[in-house]
Amino acid sequence: MQELLLGIDIGTSACKVAVFDKDGAVVAQTNKPYQVYYPESGWVEQDPTEWWAAIVAGIREVLTVDGVSAEEMKGIGIDGQSWSAIAIDRERNVLCNTPIWMDTRARDICERVKKEVGGDEIFAVAGNDFLPSYSTPKILWYKEERPELYGRIWKILQSNSYIGMMLTDEVSQDYSQGYGLHFFNMKKLEYDGGLAEKLGLSTEMVPEPVSCDHIIGEVTKKASELTGLKEGTPVVAGGLDAACGTLGAGVYKPGQTQEQGGQAGGMSICVDQALAHKKLILSPHVVPGQWLLQGGTVGGGGTLRWFKQEFGEGQSFDELTALAEKVPAGSEGVVFLPYMAGERSPIWDPDAKGVFYGLGFDKTKGHLVRAVLEGVAFSLEHNLRTAAETGVAVSSLNAMGGASNSVLWTQIKADVTGKTINVPTSDTATTLGAAILAGVGCGLYKDYDEAVGRTIRITRTQEPNPENREVYQRMMELYLTLYEKLKGTFSRFS
């Protein structure tokens, strides 16, 4: 009998469900889409019950694949998008849609709280600035704008802990997602009740934090009947999607770095201490004893998906990038600012807008596509430059996400950053990371060295082109200048 692991990824546009064998090979996988809702300006929501319905359908589908048996499933790991604020009552009912990581409705609350409580005091505990994308301001928004709903809240959950609850009936909070809660002490990995009180909140609203490979419970009879999973299958707490993807890309030791090419973009540098920077994001890694200094951007693979949807005229991603390949590095002066829903690190500007600069009658669709690819790479470089201010050195990146399937896009990122980029099995990095947590938690692997060594393989390596690097260094300065010149306009006409 083979030994299988199930990885579940709660993404922004869809969930992924994947089954792996002990060597990290994909035995079965599926994607199930769901909706993103934009009810008002700055509001971006999802319905967690729609996540669950999609995951149930996905699990049932993979269990029909030849070679997959619920009896052989040794453990289940779950990763999910960051900064949810899923409000549930004591009966474990979801009380409202959750604002997701792109939501900025609490921006006024953030400004007030930083003045009243003290932004520096919050940062000293949390290791992160008090910004509207995080979970804490969203909870305060419930309290101030939806007091009746707030009074019914029993617990606030994160995306992966909600799915964990639906599988096991247990509520949980893992360390890696604790960074969304500003009363979570980043160095001690525990809640700071005094700061929670100053913020007008209580630590009773969130489950006690546990390690990401901790078994929170087992698949219940009800969940078994819905999904087809075997009752009693162990489920671990899981963690942040970016952190699971980082693990699944083979990044789990200090100095190693992951480059993210999913719907969103960014990078995660593995460090062995809680090393914070106000313009970046700090979270515990899903690997015990490690942290991730992260840059998280709005513009990742989603920018090219948007362009394809609106201007692709039925063309595939490969056809679009083939057009871009004909355009020289630097897109002959066309620059794209990928701020399609404001921007996160390192500028943290909810008013920022996507911009094409340098258009002319001589420019083609290929110029625009290449500028999109380059703009995302510039945002990655902006975060790497910011991280360098902490003294962290990065020599190479391990890429993950669908964007890393594009040799051209990966090469552009290598040329812009001047870093070697290694590409593991890219499409499955995040679900593989979640599955590894399950494998360690249930004892299938003795430790993370064994798990990573056994499951992760580099499929290609791309080195920076010095000539293109020189072009991109000049274009990077234009990219930075454009934002500085436009940011006042962004805020004025928001």
52 and 226 Cβ atoms separated by less than 8 Å: no
Residue 263 banded pLDDT, cuts 50, 70, 90: confident
- Max distance between CA atoms of the chain, in angstroms, equals 64
pLDDT in tens, 228-261: 999 999 999 999 999 999 999 999 999 899 998 8
Taking alpha carbons only, the member of 170, 205, 210 closest to residue 190 is 210
Burial class (CB in 10 A: 0-12, 13-18, 19+), 339: buried
pLDDT, position 494? 80
pLDDT, position 426? 61
348 has a pLDDT exceeding 80: yes
Taking alpha carbons only, the member of 122, 216, 223, 108 closest to residue 167 is 223
Residue 176 banded pLDDT, cuts 50, 70, 90: very high
pLDDT, position 427? 73
CATH 3.30.420.40 given to domain 4-241: yes
- b/e map 10-32, b = 16+ CB within 10 Å: bbbebbbbbbbbbebebbbbbbb
pLDDT in tens, 353-405: 999 999 999 999 999 999 999 999 999 999 999 999 999 989 899 998 889 99
Percent of the chain past pLDDT 90, that is, above it, reads 95
pLDDT, position 262? 81
471 has a pLDDT exceeding 80: yes
The amino acid at residue 288 is P
In sequence order, what E strands does 142-229 have?
Answer: 155-157, 173-174, 184-185, 190-191, 209-210, 215-218
Rounded mean pLDDT, 447-461: 96
pLDDT, position 402? 87
Reduce the DSSP state of residue 123 to 3 states and report it: helix
Q: What is the mean pLDDT of the chain?
A: 96
317 has a pLDDT exceeding 90: yes
- Residues with Cβ within 8 Å of residue 151, at least 6 apart in sequence: none
143 has a pLDDT exceeding 70: yes
β partners of residue 355: 337
Alpha helices in 135-215 (DSSP H): 135-145, 147-152, 159-168, 193-198
**Beta pairing, strands 98-99 & 184-185:** unpaired
- Residues with Cβ within 8 Å of residue 306, at least 6 apart in sequence: 340
Cα angle 273, 278, 279; round to 5: 110
Domain residue spans in the chain? 4-241
Reduce the DSSP state of residue 403 to 3 states and report it: helix
Whether the CA torsion 315, 316, 322, 323 is positive or negative: it is positive
pLDDT in tens, 76-105: 999 999 999 999 999 999 999 999 999 999
Rounded mean pLDDT, 438-442: 98
